Structure 1
Amino acid sequence: MGSFTKWLGAGLGFTLGGPIGAAIGFAVGSFVDGVSLEDIKGERKSLEERVGQNNGNANTNSGDFEMSLLVLASIVIKSDGKVDQRELDYVRNQFVSMYGKERANSAFKLFKGIIKKEVSARQVCIQIRTHMPHSSRLQLIHFLFGIAKADGFVIPSEIEEIKKIAGYLYINQNDFESIKAMFYDESDAAYKILEIAKEATDDEVKKAYRVMAKKYHPDKLQDLGPEHINGAQEKFQSIQSAYEKIKNERAM
C-alpha cells in the first residue's frame, strides 16, 4: 500500500482536512487495510520537508480536484435513491481517461468507500469554494452532469442535487443553465449555452460567444495539470458548437 499512500500524500493539499478529509479517512480506514489518514498526512509532511515547501494545504492540487470530484460524484449518484452501475462505470472510465489505469484504480477503490459514507453537500462545497477557483468549480459541475446522464437520462432529483451543489459552490444560475444545456438537445440549447435569449441580436450573439469562450478556455485549468484539460476542451467545444449552430441558423 506504499504507492497508494504516496499517491494521496503527494497529490492532496486542502482536501486532507475538513469534511472531504473525513470522507477520505473513512474510505481509507474502512476499505484499505493497514493505511490511515494519518499515514497519508505523514507522507505529505515528509514530501514537503524533502522539497523544502509547505503550502499549508491551502492550494488546489490535481489530487484535490480529484477528491472533490469523487465526493461530489458520490452525492449525485445517490440522489435518486439507488447506485446505478452505468454511473459508476462512467466515473471509472472518466478517471481512466484522465489519470491512467493505475491511478484510476486507486481512486475508484477510494470511491467505493466514500460512496458508503453520508456527507454534507453544503459543508463539502464550502470547503471546495474556499480553495478552488471559479473555473475549476465550473468544471466540477460539468463532470457531475456527465455522471447524471451516464444512465441515458437526467432525472429531476439529479438536476436538483447538482443545482444545489452549484449554489453552494457560488456558481450562478446562468452558468448552471449553460452547463446543463450542454447535456440536452433542446431547441434553444445553443442560446442557453451562450447565456443569451433567442431574441438576441447578431452583435449580442458574437459578444456572448467571446465572453463564454474566454470563461471556458482550457488554459484556465492549466494549474490542475494536463489530465484535466480534456474535460475543459469538451466544454469549450460545446461553446464553439453552439455558436456555429446559431450562426448557421441566422446565416451570419
Structure 2
Amino acid sequence: MSLWSTLAAVASAIQASGAQLFDRIANLVGGGEARNTFAFSAAMIALSAKMAKADGVVTSDEEIAFFSLFDIPPGEERNVARVFDLAKQDVAGFETYARRIASLFTEQPETLIDILDGLFHIAKADGYVHEAELAYLERVAEIFSIEERCFQQIRARHVIDGADPYKVLGIERSASDAEVKRQYRRQVTESHPDRLIARGVPEEFVRIANDRMAALNEAWRQVSLERGI
C-alpha cells in the first residue's frame, strides 16, 4: 500500500479525529525514517487544510497549490483529498495539530522548518499571504519553537518582489564577506534535496528544496553583486 493510500486508510479508521492521526501513524509504521515520512506528509495535509480556512475562505488556488506541492501519483489524488477534507472538518483546532506534530519532531527541528516552508508556499498561492494566514503561520512557528529570526528568513524567501537578500540568507548586513559566503554555503547544503529526504521529507515533496535553493541563489546573486565578491 502506498504512502497516500495508507494515510487515507488511517484517517478513515479514526473518523476525522485528526489530532490522533499522528499517534496512529507512529504506531502503524514504528520508528525511524518511515515514521518521519508518514508524519511529515500527514502534517502537511492537516495544517494545510486548517490554514486554507484561516482567512475565512478555502480558495481553489490554495487547494491547487497544495496538490501541486506534492507530486501525487495518478490515482492517489482521491486519497489525499480525503485526508485534506477530514482535517478541514475536524473540530480539533490547528494548535492541537501543531503541538502533536512538534512532539514528533523534537529531535529534528529542521523538519518543522520544512513544514512551515511548505505552508508559506501554499499561503501565497493566491498572490499574497493574507493577514489571517500570516497570524496562523506565526502561531504555528511559535508552537514549533522556531526562532523569530528563522521565521523572518522563511517569510523573506516567499516574498515575490523586494525581499531583503540578507534576510533570505539569514544573516546581518554587518557580516563580513567571509561570513556571508559561509552562511550561503551552509544554507545551500542544508537545503539540498537529499538532506530533506533524509529528514523524512517525501521525495514527492522536493519542490520545497528546489524553491528554497532558487531563493538562496537569487539572494546570493544580489549580495555578491552589491559587495563585488
Question: TM-score under structure 1 normalisation?
Answer: 0.74
* Length, aligned pairs only: 220
Q: For residues 100-139 of structure 1, what are the structure 2 equivalents within 5 Å? A: 100-132=73-105, 133-139=108-114
Q: For residues 165-244 of structure 1, what are the structure 2 equivalents within 5 Å? A: 165-223=140-198, 224=200, 225-244=202-221
Stretches of structure 1 that go unaligned for 5 or more consecutive residues are 30-36, 46-53
Worse-superposed segment, 56-65 or 179-188: 56-65
Measure how far apart 1:24 and its partner are.
7.6
Question: Are residues 1:80 and 2:52 paired?
Answer: no
Stretches of structure 2 that go unaligned for 5 or more consecutive residues are none
Aligned-residue Cα RMSD (Å) equals: 3.2
Q: Is the 8 A contact 2:45 2:84 kept in 1?
A: yes
Measure how far apart 1:209 and its partner are.
1.1
Q: Is the 8 A contact 1:178 1:193 kept in 2?
A: yes
**Which amino acid in the other structure matches residue 8 of structure 1?**
T
**Which amino acid in the other structure matches residue 100 of structure 1?**
P
- Work out which of the residue numbers 35, 41, 46 in structure 2 matches 1:71: 46
CA distance in 1, matches of 2:210, 2:166: 19
CA distance in 2, matches of 1:210, 1:143: 22
Measure how far apart 1:188 and its partner are.
4.8
Measure how far apart 1:219 and its partner are.
2.3
Please identify the structure whose Cα radius of gyration is greater: 1
**Which amino acid in the other structure matches residue 80 of structure 2?**
A
**Which amino acid in the other structure matches residue 152 of structure 1?**
G
Query: Are residues 86 and 246 of structure 1, via their aligned partners in 2, closer, same or farther at CA, if it must alter by over 3 Å?
Result: same
Aligned residue number for residue 8 of structure 1: 6
CA distance in 2, matches of 1:111, 1:203: 45
- What SS class does the counterpart of residue 60 from structure 1 fall into? helix
Q: Is the 8 A contact 1:178 1:192 kept in 2?
A: yes
Worse-superposed segment, 160-169 or 200-209: 200-209
Query: Are residues 246 and 56 of structure 1, via their aligned partners in 2, closer, same or farther at CA, if it must alter by over 3 Å?
Result: closer
Over residues 159-198 of structure 1, what are the superposed CA-to-partner deviations in whole Å (9 max), with x where a residue is unaligned?
1110110111122112211111111145452111111233
Query: Are residues 231 and 185 of structure 1, via their aligned partners in 2, closer, same or farther at CA, if it must alter by over 3 Å?
Result: closer
CA distance in 1, matches of 2:160, 2:109: 26
CA distance in 1, matches of 2:222, 2:3: 48
Q: Is the 8 A contact 1:91 1:147 kept in 2?
A: yes
CA distance in 1, matches of 2:91, 2:181: 45
Aligned residue number for residue 130 of structure 2: 155
Measure how far apart 1:152 and its partner are.
1.1
Query: Are residues 237 and 166 of structure 1, via their aligned partners in 2, closer, same or farther at CA, if it must alter by over 3 Å?
Result: same
- What SS class does the counterpart of residue 113 from structure 2 fall into? helix
CA distance in 2, matches of 1:182, 1:160: 17
Question: Are residues 1:26 and 2:15 paired?
Answer: yes
Measure how far apart 1:218 and its partner are.
2.3
Query: Are residues 202 and 161 of structure 1, via their aligned partners in 2, closer, same or farther at CA, if it must alter by over 3 Å?
Result: same
